[in-house]
Structure 1
Amino acid sequence: MASCKFLFIYPDINEFSHAYDGNNGCYYYGIAQLSSVLKRVGVETGLLHYTLRPAKEKFLNDIDNFTPDIIGFSSTTMMIADVYEWVRWIRESGRHSPLVLGGSHATLDYKRVAADGLFDVIFIGESEESIVEYCQHYRERPTNILGTVVKGDNDYIFNPARVLEQNLDRYPFPDWTLFDYESLYDMKTHKRGILMAARGCPYRCSFCSNDRYADLYRNKGKILRIKTVDYVIREAKAMKIQYPAINYFQFVEDTVGFDRIWLKEFSERWPREVGMDFYANLNVNVCNDDTIKLLALAGCRRLQIGVETGNESRRKEILKKPVLNKTIEAVVKECHKHDIDVNSLNMIGLPFESEENILETIHFNARLKPKLLQCTIFYPFPHTSLYDYCVEHKLISESNLSRTDYFRESILENPKISQEALYFFRDNFKTLIKIYRYVNIDWLIRLVGYKRAGKIIRLFRTRSELKKWLYQPRKKLLKYV
């Protein structure tokens, strides 16, 4: 008999929801990992994975169907408003299960979450040991579990963070069955398995939650930790057996390649023992002379590289990411040489960013010639360094922080660029890069304005069509828009 029943509730609504195409959302490695740890000690787990906002009656019925002892939410900042509404529904209905919160928002903004007073326990940071300890003793209402903020009789009790687990191999494989994995976006659309070979990041970019994590875990152990090659291979093989339709694997840790000895062993064993392509994330600063070559030998076919902005000084001074343009160009060139596709990750709408700065990013990507491009709008995650900078310079309103996502809109009040201009670049980012060498974009915008320029670009998607069109007299140009 299970020691208790723990129900995870995962709102997967805004982020990437426009890309789901009827699939059941994305796999979340963290929840699957927590579920496997809980099951190992006899806790029964369930999951409500919402990609659409549920009606109140359906939501409460879904909970009752599982009859949980504990209800646990995992949420980003962009989803926290929905979570708060659902928690109020539970409280108003008279259900008395303890309500707990984990995930990135709980870690980044736990003081404000505590001040809002809706949760019995807030889990901060990596929570495997904390959640197991809580589930084993929740009937006693423990208040001293490390890595938690707990509602006491009069106020919340803030407990210190745990020492980071250094041996990641001691955890079981994630609980893939918690999700309906075969119906997820990852599997149904991409036929990919999700792996995480490491935790932590060696860098402190001002826009990233890792900046906050570094403060949380200061003097709590080495932040950057990696599983053994043996563990990663066993996990990949087990997942492939469970889901034979997997065509490739996606490694979701912050960066691959920071441990050369590990990478060399991996490059020898992965193709021999797993023999499948994989994609990964890469911070170019970890690269040495043979990093890309070893990744290619292992079977890497795509690397996601955080370009962020084409303006080198802003990348260094505003984003605190001291990566040189020439370093990015050299790594991308090496990727092309070894037939590794590059997905260039970019942000627009940064604090005090101008149209000229965005055009620099477009120009830089035109030089890089990546296979794929992603353009998001900067979002200030609470209590990261760049969030504090935005607050200090009165660029954000606290009321705007939730119920948006970084593909659709900006919550910054940026005096250097209009919303119309920002959304023009958002909507046409990829096409502008394709045509950059053929068209003076500044001239086009001045000639017809943002709205008409956007229509023109959408009408003429190929270079040859656009070049032919641009040689017409201005009167003929304007008749199209």
Structure 2
Amino acid sequence: MPISETAMKIHFIYCDVDSGFYPGAHHGLASLFAAVRAAGHDYALTHLTKDVPCDEFANSLPAADVYAFSAMTNQFKFVRRLAPVVGAATGKPVVVGGVHAMLEGPAAAQVEGVTCAFTCEADVALPAWLSAYRAGEWRGVGGIAYIQDGQTRCNPGSPILDLDSLPEPTYDGFDMRRILRDLGGRLSVTVSRGCPYSCAFCCNEALRRNFGAPGYARRRSPSSAVAMVKNLAERYKPDSIRFEDDLLLVSRRWREEFLSLFREQIGLPMECNCRADLVDAGLADLLKKSGCVSLDIGVESGDESLRNKVLNKGVSDEQLIRAFDLLNSRGLSTYAYNIVGLPGETAQMAEKTYRLNRRLRPSAGAVFYFYPYPHTALAEYARREGLLRDDYEQANSYTNRPSVLPTHMSYRQMRSVYRRLRMHLLLRRFVSFFALPRGLKKIMAAGAWGIFLACPPLIEILLTDSALKRWLRRQAFRVRGK
């Protein structure tokens, strides 16, 4: 839709400061770009990846009618710091959205300098708010929280049930040339929202409670999803597709139709997330046939009791082992996600996570420190039991440092397991570069492991050097696409 004469110009500010995940695009913002443009408004983006002085940042912003911050919980401190300065320097309204605002609602609206916070998915609410603001009265728009006469007011929003009704996202606000290059030619997309499971560490359960309607876990229809991805692939010319949906393959009927259409109409290598208890021989064969080259699976913890009784994952060791063995036997790459520094985790439990990863033999993987996202079951438990550090909010990402107090194991033990597991997964990634028999790969990995153990400073360089981490990440994505 062309920009109208009464168009509003909204300038998005995406806080992504030293998060460890740049380069990357934000799928929620890509959807909002499309929604704003479809409503006849215009947009621009500042992707904030480095901390800068507040005044310098505010003075560098181009003119706009509205400034809109988006930030995860780890990054929300930058909103608190910058919003008052941006509002004062520009004299324009400052709004905030994203998952943190959706979880915190009124608290996000109470941040100094913030005009209102969007407390629901803003694909409909934001264009409506822009038009209402232009008309002079925006306080009646649904899905926002704001301060009026010293009181915090919250307007209920309407949940978006039909994703096919939304315009296709556009990533043009991001530096897609660099992002594609640094991700090894991989285009990341999402075609669904939400997850039907209730893992205690994940924000999805809290978001589902706030959703206000059944059907929180939604996806585009197979034909709509494939058409969307096809259009994006034609625009950005990727070498492969990564689906970053929380859980793409939960519906058997949907995945069979979707994967068939994807293979016929797009035909690029693809990868996605999955739960171990959903993987069986039929799914593994279907994925292989459909061009899937890698499946990412949450291991979380190697201690089965912690994984299921505390994290509420609902996946056994046996299911994890079977899933990885099935995928490995069919030549599919596997990627394991892990968490250390969990509330109640002992050194022995953390050691089990390391040992289980050695048994699973993933092609690569990642390890994160637990981070207490607002209103999640595990965060509430940790807060109630007094297990959280006072300064946990100062971490920019869940890769920086532990968030829990050293109640059940020391910080030294947490970091030791974290570093050993990261190094093990880096070595798995390294040996995946080479098309060698499994026995030779094991010998290569053992030799490299011995070198690293003999030279601890080398481990520190590998785990802390920013340029090297970017290079390793780029190579990892290339490996996962083989």
Aligned pairs (5 A) from 1:7-26 = 7-16=11-20, 20=22, 25-26=23-24
Determine the structure 2 residue equivalent to 1:448.
none
Shift of residue 285, structure 1, vs aligned partner? 3.1
SS at structure 2 position matched to 1:178: coil
In the alignment, structure 1 residue 180 sits paired with structure 2 residue 175: yes
Larger radius of gyration: 1
Residue 229 to residue 415, structure 1, CA distance change in 2 (3 Å): same
SS at structure 2 position matched to 1:73: strand
Residue 179 to residue 467, structure 1, CA distance change in 2 (3 Å): closer
SS at structure 1 position matched to 2:245: coil
For structure 1, list consecutive stretches of 5 or more residues without a partner in the other structure. Answer: 437-459, 471-481
Shift of residue 98, structure 1, vs aligned partner? 1.1
Please give the per-residue CA displacement for 1:143-190, whole angstroms capped at 9, x wherever unaligned: 23222112223322112232x222211111112211121122x44332
In the alignment, structure 1 residue 225 sits paired with structure 2 residue 218: yes
SS at structure 2 position matched to 1:359: helix
Give distance in 2, aligned partners of 1:252 and 1:81. Answer: 25
In the alignment, structure 1 residue 242 sits paired with structure 2 residue 235: yes
Preserved CA contact (<8 Å) 2:388 2:403: yes
Instruction: Kindly provide the amino acid, as one letter, of the partner of residue 200 in structure 2.
Output: S
With structure 2 as the length reference, what TM-score do the two structures score? 0.85
In the alignment, structure 1 residue 305 sits paired with structure 2 residue 288: no
Give distance in 2, aligned partners of 1:319 and 1:76. Answer: 21
Residue 6 to residue 92, structure 1, CA distance change in 2 (3 Å): closer
Preserved CA contact (<8 Å) 2:240 2:269: yes
SS at structure 1 position matched to 2:394: coil
Give distance in 2, aligned partners of 1:92 and 1:38. Answer: 25
Preserved CA contact (<8 Å) 1:193 1:250: yes
Shift of residue 304, structure 1, vs aligned partner? 0.9
More displaced, 136-145 or 123-132? 136-145
Instruction: Kindly provide the amino acid, as one letter, of the partner of residue 100 in structure 1.
Output: V
- Count of residue pairs the alignment pairs up: 435
Preserved CA contact (<8 Å) 1:351 1:414: no
In the alignment, structure 1 residue 280 sits paired with structure 2 residue 280: no
SS at structure 1 position matched to 2:169: coil
Determine the structure 1 residue equivalent to 2:462.
none
Instruction: Kindly provide the amino acid, as one letter, of the partner of residue 283 in structure 1.
Output: R
In the alignment, structure 1 residue 6 sits paired with structure 2 residue 22: no
Shift of residue 399, structure 1, vs aligned partner? 4.1
More displaced, 277-286 or 32-41? 277-286
Give distance in 2, aligned partners of 1:469 and 1:275. Answer: 40
SS at structure 2 position matched to 1:401: helix
Give distance in 2, aligned partners of 1:465 and 1:268. Answer: 41
Residue 135 to residue 434, structure 1, CA distance change in 2 (3 Å): closer
Residue 291 to residue 181, structure 1, CA distance change in 2 (3 Å): same
For structure 2, list consecutive stretches of 5 or more residues without a partner in the other structure. Answer: 429-442, 454-482
Residue 403 to residue 50, structure 1, CA distance change in 2 (3 Å): same
| Aligned residues: CA RMSD | 2.5
Give distance in 2, aligned partners of 1:469 and 1:401. Answer: 32
Please give the per-residue CA displacement for 1:49-68, whole angstroms capped at 9, x wherever unaligned: 111123334422332x2x21
Determine the structure 2 residue equivalent to 1:103.
98
Determine the structure 1 residue equivalent to 2:64.
68
Shift of residue 199, structure 1, vs aligned partner? 1.1
Identical aligned pairs, as a percentage?
A: 23
Give distance in 2, aligned partners of 1:128 and 1:289. Answer: 38
More displaced, 111-120 or 318-327? 111-120
Residue 397 to residue 469, structure 1, CA distance change in 2 (3 Å): closer
In the alignment, structure 1 residue 463 sits paired with structure 2 residue 446: yes
In the alignment, structure 1 residue 205 sits paired with structure 2 residue 199: yes
Q: Select 1:80's aligned residue among 76, 79, 82.
A: 76
Residue 252 to residue 467, structure 1, CA distance change in 2 (3 Å): closer
SS at structure 2 position matched to 1:176: coil
Residue 16 to residue 434, structure 1, CA distance change in 2 (3 Å): closer
Preserved CA contact (<8 Å) 1:263 1:294: no
SS at structure 1 position matched to 2:13: strand
Q: Select 1:420's aligned residue among 412, 423, 430.
A: 412
Determine the structure 1 residue equivalent to 2:468.
none
Shift of residue 289, structure 1, vs aligned partner? 5.0
Determine the structure 2 residue equivalent to 1:475.
none
Give distance in 2, aligned partners of 1:216 and 1:401. Answer: 23
Determine the structure 2 residue equivalent to 1:327.
319
In the alignment, structure 1 residue 346 sits paired with structure 2 residue 338: yes
Give distance in 2, aligned partners of 1:51 and 1:465. Answer: 33
Preserved CA contact (<8 Å) 1:352 1:414: no
Please give the per-residue CA displacement for 1:117-146, whole angstroms capped at 9, x wherever unaligned: 431111113111111110110142322322
Shift of residue 468, structure 1, vs aligned partner? 11
Give distance in 1, aligned partners of 2:315 and 2:358. Answer: 18
Shift of residue 288, structure 1, vs aligned partner? 5.0
